[in-house]
Structure 1
Amino acid sequence: MKKNIIYTVVALIVGLLVGFLLFGGDSKNTTANSDAHEHSDEVTQMWTCSMHPQIMQPEPGDCPICGMDLIPADAGGEGLALNEIKMTNNAMALANIQTMVVGNDSEGDGSSLMLSGKIMPNEEANAVQASYFEGRIEKLNVNFTGENVRKGQLLATIYAPALVAAQQELLTAASMKESQPALYNAVRNKLKLWKLSEDQINQIETSGKVREFFPIYATVSGTVSEKLTEEGDYVTQGQPIVKVSNLATVWAMFDAYENQISQLKEGQKITVTSNAYPNKEFEATISFIDPRLNTQSRTISVRATLNNKEGILKPGMFVTSKVQVAKSGDKEALISVPASAVLWTGNRSLVYVKTNPDEPIFEMREVILGSKNGDNYTIVEGLSNGDEIVVNGIFTVDAAAQLQGKRSMMNTVGQPEMDPTDHLADTERLEVPAKFQDQLKTVFDDYMTMERALVNDNAETPKKAAADLMKSLQKVDIKLVKEEPAHSRWMLLDKKLQESAHAISKTSDIDEQRDHFIHLSAHLINAVKTFGINQKVYVDYCPMVKGDLGAFWMSTEEEILNPYFGERMLRCGEVTDIIQ
């Protein structure tokens, strides 16, 4: 009995000892791991605002925009980048989200390039029917634009006082042609220069009567493209009466982007189709490539001449062309994507790229669109061959990004359309001649005219001031800043200022003007800080512009007068810097 009690006590002691060894150390490890995990959470925990998810701070507090209490933000513990989002496979299936790899994977020795354009009259076949003598149009036989005329058809009848006098000279000279043949021939030649025929001159001479009204005949066949006079109008010698276009051949004018120029050449065969005849193809050859680049659209004009004897191609029709181009190993192929893959916000064109080929992880990317061919867009910039993008269900992906406070169609957080603090970077003062500063001061004065107009909610003055600013920029002598880095710095700023000013000069919409004024201000602040204008300037900032992205502007007075809101919030803002 005693032995049994001893054995039981020993077993109990051994059991407690083993249990302590097994679970006690584990508890310590668990506690240590828990402490480490909590410590890790403290290190990575960020705080955000439920109304302004772009706000990210390492500690709790108030939202600097609306003043609300910050809440813990998702730490993103799945190894995602700042603006990446991850969706579940179930959500992908429910939303029918589909992706595709972009790039030119067509087989064969060549690929096709799509261009968009429209039909225009062949200027080489155009003609202007002019009056050969001065007078009054008594009868105009062309009734409307678009009317067909044929060569030799009577276009108009004109009363010409000078021609009446010339006929009287002819009759007088005819009576003396035996004694003064030189005078007689000179008078006849004078009438021939006025496009009177030999028969008409002989008829006047034979009848002995002066004609008061003379006909004007069409010299070409075609379609009247423009009436330039009306009955009763008094015309001068050589003044156009009508314009006639021969539409037996027409031009197809296309726009090609800068990165497509190297793939086009005169004599290249193209296939043209029109919206009016989608099942009919027209063969043509590139006859002209404009040597000038449109600096606004970054395109050149490409022309092809089309046979139009049937008259089915009308000026103004939209057409597309397919150009066969050879593949080149050293040039990046053009990328075409379905229209369903693109979100367009008015200012930005967006796609969602799958950043991990094995997992449903996506990130928004801004792209520059080229021409639209059917249901596809050409991507000029923003995508590379091999990128995998969302082509179906893109709105669902964007909604998920919005809910997670990531960069999306409605939220530019992470990479705004323009960094409003851009002028703070690389703005050390550079030494430049005083003459250059005076020229920059003129640009600044035009800017201030624009700014004061926007403060007063005036949309007309900024248009003219922007045009004046562009002229002032053209007068800035680049030779005055030949040394680096001033030369490169000004070349870049000049380009940006020209673009923003041009955009303002082309619109009377004050909201659009204010949007472009954000960019103009940022670049001009940069220029004034870098080069100086020998004037004290205040740099002001309002955090509520562009959906709380904020924007800067310049002023010569310390008083805040907000050009982005005008009377709505005239005093909104603060002075953030002073340029001496």
Structure 2
Amino acid sequence: MKQRIIYIGIAAIVGLAVGYLLFGKSDTDTMEVVEHDHNSETGQMWTCSMHPQIMQPEAGDCPICGMDLIPAEVGADGLSPEQFKMTKNALALANIQTTVVGSAEGDNDNIITLSGKIGVNEEAMAVQASYFDGRIERLNVNYEGQEIRKGQLLATIYSPELVAAQQELLTAASLRESQPQLYSAVRNKLKLWKLSDNQINNIESSGKVKENFPVYATVSGTVSEVMSSAGDYLKKGQPIAKVSDLSTVWAEFDAYESQFSQLKKGQKISIAANAYPNKTFDGQITFIDPVLDNTTRTVTVRATLRNQKDMFKPGMFVTGKIESGMAIAETTLFVPSSAVMWTGERSLVYVKVNRDEPIFEMREVMLGARNGENIEVTHGLDSGEEIVTNGTFTVDAAAQLQGKRSMMNKTGGKTMTGHEGHIGKQEDMGSDSSKEMMKMEFSDNFQKDFEAVLPAYLKLKDALVASDAPKTSMDANATLKILKKLDLSNTGAMEKAHIHKIIEMLEAIANKEDLENQRTHFVILNENMVAIASNLDSLGNTFYVQKCPMANNNKGAVWLSTENEIRNPYYGDAMLKCGSVVKIID
């Protein structure tokens, strides 16, 4: 019996030893294997709580601060940290529209669009001048725009010189038989003063000298400038009025450097005017200015138009479309300008990553030539990808609310670390060439009118510095009224998007006297204000772009000031001096 018990005990010990050898992995080891397998299947990424831009496929230490990495949050729907989702209801309310990016063979019409104005045809302009010294007794040309006809009385002039010449004529007429050469010389002298044969014959037949002599128009046209007044004493050759023949006019357009190579004399141009929205007029390029304007970096391109029924008025805004001769490679990608948000440093689009779901992510792109409302994308997009083309700023606002990468949060993207342990940085898309190509285009009138917005904006900024919510609301309203008067008829879609976003933010600031809410909207307002101000050809003052790194939840926010000294509108007295000058707009 004892022997049997000993055998059973030995068997049990041997069984336990064999079981340990076969199944002896600890629960911890088993969990590690399961976790590792789970990570590999789900694509779990690891990040740093202090530096969320760090993303690694395995656990470890943060390469920046050395803290232990934690699992990155991945939503239940499997979105990556850069992606976010919008509801279908939100898409419908904001009228979000998307377009599939195609090659140049698709929807790209290869049309150059130029903005310009109708001008006076200077080749058909004449100056009506006095051909003798004298005093204007009566002036029949009184205002600009007055129509005159050839032979019409322009002015009555008293001229002692002409009185003496008439007396010479009467004396020479009496000696016509004996001294015909003298008589002929006196008549020719009067003809050089633009007196007609009828006028000279009337003086001879009447035998009387006229003290006040009429001056008649030598051309027909429209008075573009009155250059003298009644009572003025004129010297020979001094102008009385400038007359323009408006039967033909010039359509003058501004073309940028990037468009020079695609333009040539004789090229056909289709012209549309705001006054006649349903009509187009055909013309040809007759002149391309050989000298570049260093201020605007443009040259003048001109077409001569027949002005039937006086349809074209000098000063009217017009748009010209020219078929570009540029050969576009099949791989060239173009996108509508409304799809691109430009911060002054970066060019951004939003890509819809899932055709069946409203899932988006921000993408930085590099831009090339601009053809009208289309912009070439040289880097950052592939043919077949779907991008947001309407409501881009609304999508960007949704990204900001969800803490994703956005127009104002460029540090939220992935920064991958390699096996060697170095930190790989995202490629910089804000190259100088991209900035130059992405220069916004504004008419001269728009730029002049926008300068009137800036003083009102500065008052709004100062109200926020003073932490005065009621005055901030009042100043936002004043700025809004000025901004809504801007003429956007000749403004591109991208430029209009920036203006409309500023208006939207001003309305939000004006309608709610909540200082924190006002400052939140002021962040977005300034991103758009800085982008526009940076593209104006000239400003009355030097403006400083200033930035507070603490504002906007430590993402940083900018504002405009005419003073180098920092006065922070996002914190007021709490952190009045927080910030620095990041750019000067001279």
For residues 163-222 of structure 1, the C-alpha deviation after alignment (integer angstroms, 9 at most, x for no partner) is 112222323333444444443333222211110112212222232211111222222222
Counterpart residue type for residue 508 of structure 1 = G
* Residue 24 of structure 1: aligned partner: 25
Q: Quick check: 2:128–2:240 contact (8 Å CA) kept in 1?
A: yes
Counterpart residue type for residue 392 of structure 1 = N
* Residue 91 of structure 2: aligned partner: 95
Unaligned runs of 5+ in 2: 53-61, 412-425, 433-533, 569-574, 581-586
Counterpart residue type for residue 299 of structure 2 = I
1:47 aligns with one of 50, 74, 88: 50
CA RMSD of aligned residues (A): 5.4
For residues 83-113 of structure 1, the C-alpha deviation after alignment (integer angstroms, 9 at most, x for no partner) is 993123x557743554324466456998433
> Within 2, Cα distance between the matches of 1:506 and 1:273?
28
Q: Quick check: 1:349–1:368 contact (8 Å CA) kept in 2?
A: no
CA drift of 1:114 comes to 2.4
Counterpart residue type for residue 59 of structure 1 = C
CA drift of 1:146 comes to 1.3
Q: Quick check: 1:102–1:337 contact (8 Å CA) kept in 2?
A: no
Give the number of equivalent residue pairs.
Answer: 430
Higher mean displacement: 131-140 or 394-403: 394-403
Counterpart residue type for residue 254 of structure 1 = F
Counterpart residue type for residue 126 of structure 1 = M
Counterpart residue type for residue 150 of structure 1 = R
CA drift of 1:418 comes to 10
For residues 110-143 of structure 1, the C-alpha deviation after alignment (integer angstroms, 9 at most, x for no partner) is 8433222221122211211112122222222223
> Within 1, Cα distance between the matches of 2:107 and 2:430?
40
CA drift of 1:548 comes to 9.7
| SS in structure 2 at match of 1:165 | helix
Unaligned runs of 5+ in 1: 50-55, 62-70, 420-501, 519-540, 552-561, 575-580
For residues 505-562 of structure 1, the C-alpha deviation after alignment (integer angstroms, 9 at most, x for no partner) is 943324x2x34xx9xxxxxxxxxxxxxxxxxxxxxx99899999899xxxxxxxxxx9
1:508 aligns with one of 540, 546, 558: 540
> Within 2, Cα distance between the matches of 1:217 and 1:385?
70
> Within 2, Cα distance between the matches of 1:112 and 1:259?
14
> Within 2, Cα distance between the matches of 1:362 and 1:503?
24
| SS in structure 2 at match of 1:229 | coil
Counterpart residue type for residue 117 of structure 2 = K
Change (3 A) 1:9 1:337: farther
| SS in structure 1 at match of 2:304 | strand
Counterpart residue type for residue 30 of structure 1 = M
1:392 aligns with one of 390, 399, 402: 390
CA drift of 1:321 comes to 2.3
Matches within 5 A, 1:97-496: 97-102=96-101, 105-106=104-105, 111-326=110-325, 328-329=327-328, 335=334, 337-339=336-338, 341-343=339-341, 350-354=347-351, 360-365=360-365, 376=373, 378=375, 386=383, 389-403=387-401, 408-411=406-409
For residues 279-324 of structure 1, the C-alpha deviation after alignment (integer angstroms, 9 at most, x for no partner) is 1121212212222223333322221111212211211222222223
Q: Quick check: 1:355–1:363 contact (8 Å CA) kept in 2?
A: no
Q: Quick check: 1:47–1:72 contact (8 Å CA) kept in 2?
A: no
For residues 350-409 of structure 1, the C-alpha deviation after alignment (integer angstroms, 9 at most, x for no partner) is 5314396887432245768958x6xx4556988878475321342243234435666643
CA drift of 1:277 comes to 1.1
Counterpart residue type for residue 91 of structure 2 = A
CA drift of 1:566 comes to 7.7
> Within 1, Cα distance between the matches of 2:378 and 2:328?
19
Higher mean displacement: 209-218 or 319-328: 319-328
TM-score, normalisation: structure 1: 0.59
| SS in structure 1 at match of 2:128 | strand
> Within 2, Cα distance between the matches of 1:380 and 1:258?
18
Counterpart residue type for residue 142 of structure 2 = N
> Within 1, Cα distance between the matches of 2:258 and 2:81?
30
* Residue 530 of structure 1: aligned partner: none
Q: Quick check: 2:340–2:348 contact (8 Å CA) kept in 1?
A: yes
* Residue 416 of structure 2: aligned partner: none
CA drift of 1:337 comes to 0.8
| SS in structure 2 at match of 1:132 | coil
Q: Quick check: 2:134–2:234 contact (8 Å CA) kept in 1?
A: yes
Counterpart residue type for residue 65 of structure 2 = E
Q: Quick check: 1:136–1:232 contact (8 Å CA) kept in 2?
A: yes
| SS in structure 2 at match of 1:265 | coil
> Within 1, Cα distance between the matches of 2:255 and 2:285?
12
> Within 2, Cα distance between the matches of 1:73 and 1:217?
93
Q: Quick check: 2:104–2:330 contact (8 Å CA) kept in 1?
A: no
* Residue 501 of structure 2: aligned partner: none
Q: Quick check: 1:335–1:384 contact (8 Å CA) kept in 2?
A: no
